[in-house]
Amino acid sequence: FFSSLFLSFFPFPPPSLSLLCFAGFQKTEAPRPPGAKDLHVYPWDKSSLKSMPLDLEQFKKLDDYALKVNVKNSVEELVKALLKQARTDLEKVRAIWMWICHHIEYDVVGYHNKSQLSSKPRDVLQMGKSICEGYAELFEHMCSLAGIQCKKLSGHAKGHGYKTGQTFTGDSDHAWNAVYLEGRWHLLDSTWGSGSVDDSFTKFTYRYNEFYFLTHPALFINNHFPDNSNWQLLKPTLTLKEFENNMLHNSNFYMLGLLATHPETPIIQTVNGKASVSVDCRSSTLFMFKLKGAEEHGLMTLEKHGMKLDIYPQKTGSHKLEIFAKPSKAEASDDVYKCVVEYVVECESVDKAMRFPKELHQPVGPSWFSERQGFLRPSHRQPVLHTNDGRCSFTFTLGKDISVLTSLHGDGSSLAEDMGRRHVLQIQRRNQIELKVHLPHAGSFVLKIYSKKKSDPGNYDYIFNYLIRCLNTEVKWPAFPQSYSKWLQDYEILEPLSGLLPANRNVQFRLKMHGVAKVLVQAENTYPLTQNKGVWEGTCSTSGCREVFVMVHENANHSFYSQVLKYEVETQ
């Protein structure tokens, strides 16, 4: 019976797959039943993942040794070989645990054909495979040979084939162990420690999982419910009903340092078409989500200690919501997003107004991540900005050596990519940047922000985005003027901001530019601008032309002018 743990990347197998692993477990008596001193407080106190203090680094040598032991002729010989490097009871249990997790595979064929199956320790060792019952019996037998009290436990588990919110009836469907160390009982599951089974329950893959070794009982109860409630090792103990209704947090959840989810119930009802979920964690963690297998109909924001997610399903009915996480420090190459928790969202009514543009990327809004990329002190901390007149402005303090690129995206094809860039005006004043946005029409828009190091020749990297909403159907702002490569990042247009000039009119120009010798405005005629305290000023007539260019003369000794800005003129 398998942990859904690493199976989170696959959908569940068909319900026809029985959850039973082996019925009719025999009971073995352990010398001392669990008492008050074995109990841990429930709910989890968020302290340790283990039921006793462990330094896994100290096991390194022992683990390596145990993995290499290759004795298959008898269980006695195997235990004797393993104990050569183990002094304390804890080390003996660790050596046995490591060996079983790396040498016994889950018997997917035997699972489907139990009559041919023996879970006797000798047979399990000879075959090198078994189901949970065989893992637990082998573990118990090896411990007793090593002089350690160990008990095989049976009960219900939320493992392979588990469906959110299901009930458990009938015989137990899983087996695991309790071991007696340093004066109290501890729990472990070597079946789930060894690896996982694929979706169709036809292939086992070794994938060691440290989580199930001496797991803290308040976490073990998450997916293991023993027939005898004393073996929960908890105060208070949980009822089967509570176990069924509790949120399933798999081992990825805890191994990634996540602490809690809200709500704590796996089935959520929408209220007015919206459902909200949040996850708490210790350190900066990256998240993503899937609703019915697609990352859409949601608005996720990253917080320093977790994330918040609002879901707006666009169809009524039941929707599977999966939440994935990965550490933000991407040193390890195996840092892929792992499923950490699943909900079922029951939607009774749809909020059509909360349709998001296809271009919206999760997470939305600024966060510790954008801050880490050098976008400090954002003027808008919220992910969504509402504007009534179709104009808005965002400011940031920029970290050193950062070059910024922005673009605006509408819904559908209302905004071509080159025009999307021209509806955002970047103004840089020393280490401050302002992004002025003028929307072309009412609707929902995405403002995407990219950056790169100025010293890097490479491409810009996407950093984050905002959602901008405008309901006012009167709104119709023209694009900003088109700028060319000679227009520097710290130049500033004071006026005219509109890239579309009125026809047959005298237009006032005021431009902040440095390091140029002359500035001209080229229309039907040419109009020189004069410099006054760093601002180039003057007027130009738009009559008789369709385009107006601003040109600069970088060096008074050259006769060469460069175009820096281009305006269109309205047609009559």
Cα separation of 390 and 410, whole Å?
13
| Partners of residue 395 on adjacent β-strands | 434
What string of H, E and C letters represents the secondary structure of 459-471? CCEEEEEEEEEEC
Give the number of residues written for the chain: 572
Place of tokens 């605006």: 408
Cα separation of 438 and 384, whole Å?
16
Cα separation of 209 and 548, whole Å?
67
By DSSP bridging, strand 432-438 and strand 424-429 are antiparallel
Q: Reduced to 3 states, what is the DSSP secondary structure of residue 541?
A: strand
Cα separation of 347 and 482, whole Å?
46
Q: Closest by alpha carbon to 378, among 365, 361, 363, 388?
A: 365
In the Cβ-directed half-sphere of 20, how many Cα atoms lie within 13 Å?
A: 13
Contact predicate 351/379, CB 8 Å = no
Instruction: Please report which helix (H) or strand (E) contains residue 134, including its range.
Output: helix 132-145
| Long-range contacts, stretch 65-68, CB < 8 angstroms, 24+ apart | 65/95, 66/94, 66/95, 66/96, 66/98, 66/99, 66/102, 67/98, 67/99, 67/102
- Tokens in use for 158? 């939320």
Contact predicate 232/43, CB 8 Å = no
Q: In a 10 Å sphere around its CB, with 0-12 CB exposed, 13-18 middle and 19+ buried, how is residue 560 labelled?
A: exposed
**How far does CA 516 lie from the centroid of its chain?**
49
Contact predicate 466/364, CB 8 Å = yes
Q: Reduced to 3 states, what is the DSSP secondary structure of residue 17?
A: coil
User: Euclidean distance between the first and final Cα of the chain, in Å?
Assistant: 77
Instruction: Please report which helix (H) or strand (E) contains residue 525, including its range.
Output: none
Active site (catalytic) residues: 132, 174, 189
Cα separation of 173 and 85, whole Å?
35
- Tokens in use for 510? 């005021």
Q: In a 10 Å sphere around its CB, with 0-12 CB exposed, 13-18 middle and 19+ buried, how is residue 436 labelled?
A: middle
Helices 75-83 and 132-145 pack at an angle, to 10 degrees, of 60
- Per DSSP (E only), the strands in 237-282 are 258-262, 267-269, 275-281
Query: What is the arrangement of strands in the sheet containing 424-429, beginning at the earlier edge strand?
Result: 375-376, 391-398, 432-438, 424-429
